[in-house]
Amino acid sequence: MIVLPDVWMEYWRGKDIFKGLFSLDGSVYREQEGRKTLRFSFRDRYYFAKLHRGVGWKEILKNILQFRLPVFSAQNEWRAISSLEKLGVNTTPLVGYGQRGRNPARIKSFVITEEIANTKSLEDFCRDWPNSPPDHDLKRVLITQVAEIARTVHENGLNHRDFYICHFLLDMSVFKDRFDPRCLRLYLIDLHRMQIRRCTPWRCRVKDIAALYFSSMDIGLTKCDLLRFIKVYQNKPLKSSFGQHKFFWWLVKRRGIALKRKFYRKNK
């Protein structure tokens, strides 16, 4: 199965598309066993190709023994992108995808997305906030948008599984002219582990929000900022949104702190 625009199919007419894609020249952004992310150009525009060669049975068994759902191919990512696009959540625009083979450990697959130019991850954008606090309206709008994205994702049966602020890209073009916080645009990226169900389990919501909390601990957020996030995420008045879900937020805080401790132990 291969789904690509006509102009791409015409370019590879009579050739093995998988062989052509897997031998592309470009800048390697990430490479792990069985998976590579590549930035390349095609007809004067830039794209990203995520190429999956198969993870192998060893990796599949390791994930199962750790009670983690294995990611066999790029199919998960293109389904996630399509789901977010239907929900109106900005993400990397999907160009095409394909898959070959039936053996879960040896499936070859790919997903191609457009490059989102002139963006910066929230991790980088917010890094200096403790020493150089941002404009109040800017921070308020960013917190609101992140919370709205989290709510939309979770209310529609999705959970990210790597829900860190580094996976939110901020469109920097809004800062070229007169700044208007209402024009801010965020993109949610790195969707290869996203899970899609009819309903998002409670434990998966906790894991996602805890990861978000952990990754934002060092950017100088105040108690008021955290309460704003809670109010928008629950989409209720603060008293009921916190009061009715007190245990949920206690678990989020507990898991977020545990992630922080684990991070420090690993990076000592």
- Which domains are assigned to the chain? 2-114 (3.30.200), 119-266 (1.10.510.10)
Neighbours of 13 (CB within 10 A): 7
String of b and e for 227-255 (b: at least 16 CB within 10 Å)? ebbbbbbbeeeeeebbeebeebbebbeeb
Q: Which residue has the higher pLDDT, 74 or 132?
A: 132
Q: What is the pLDDT of residue 66?
A: 58
Q: What is the pLDDT of residue 166?
A: 97
Give me the mean pLDDT over the 3-32 stretch: 86
Interatomic CA distance for residues 265 and 252, integer angstroms: 20
Q: What is the pLDDT of residue 94?
A: 93
Residue 103, pLDDT > 90, answer no
Q: What is the pLDDT of residue 206?
A: 97
Residue 107, pLDDT > 90, answer no
Give me the mean pLDDT over the 233-259 stretch: 90
- Per DSSP, 134 falls in state P
Q: How confident is the model at residue 72 (pLDDT cuts 50, 70, 90)?
A: low
Q: Which range has the worst mean pLDDT, 51-55, 122-126, 227-231?
A: 51-55
**Mean pLDDT score of the chain, rounded to an integer?**
88
Residue 123, pLDDT > 80, answer yes
SS3 of 128, please?
A: coil
Q: What is the pLDDT of residue 100?
A: 86
Residue type, 223: K
Q: Is 128 a catalytic residue?
A: no
- Residue among 44, 128, 137, 162 flagged as catalytic: 162
Q: What is the pLDDT of residue 55?
A: 62
- Per DSSP, 193 falls in state T
pLDDT tens-digit readout, 150-175: 999 999 999 999 999 999 999 998 88
Q: How confident is the model at residue 268 (pLDDT cuts 50, 70, 90)?
A: low
Give me the mean pLDDT over the 229-233 stretch: 95
Q: What is the pLDDT of residue 132?
A: 93
Residue 54, pLDDT > 70, answer no
User: Measuring CA to CA, how many Å separate 68 from each of 10, 59, 76, 195?
Assistant: 40, 11, 15, 11
Interatomic CA distance for residues 58 and 46, integer angstroms: 34
Give me the mean pLDDT over the 194-215 stretch: 96
148 sits in which H/E element: helix 136-155
Give me the mean pLDDT over the 244-256 stretch: 93
- Per DSSP, 172 falls in state G
Q: What is the pLDDT of residue 176?
A: 74
